[in-house]
Amino acid sequence: MSGAKDKVEGAMDKVKGEAKDQYGKLTDNKEKQVEGKIDKAKGSIKKKNGEFKDTLDK
């Protein structure tokens, strides 16, 4: 029940979210900025979930 998968997926979501957020800023596209912020938040949650799973394995 390792949390490694969740931590990797979380990191990928955060990177994807940051890219969308920056693209939205460059193009003045508020919708993309919001999508990026949501993706970053999802990534943070997945990462924390993975860390929690790791503590259960100990």
Q: What are the tens digits of pLDDT across the range 5-29?
A: 999 999 999 999 999 999 999 999 9
Burial class (CB in 10 A: 0-12, 13-18, 19+), 18: middle
**pTM for the full predicted model:** 0.85
Distance CA 31, CA 53 (A): 33
Please give the pLDDT value at position 51. Answer: 93
Domain that holds residue 38: 4-57
Please give the pLDDT value at position 18. Answer: 97
Number of domains, the chain: 1
Contact between residue 19 and residue 43 where contact means Cβ atoms under 8 Å apart: no
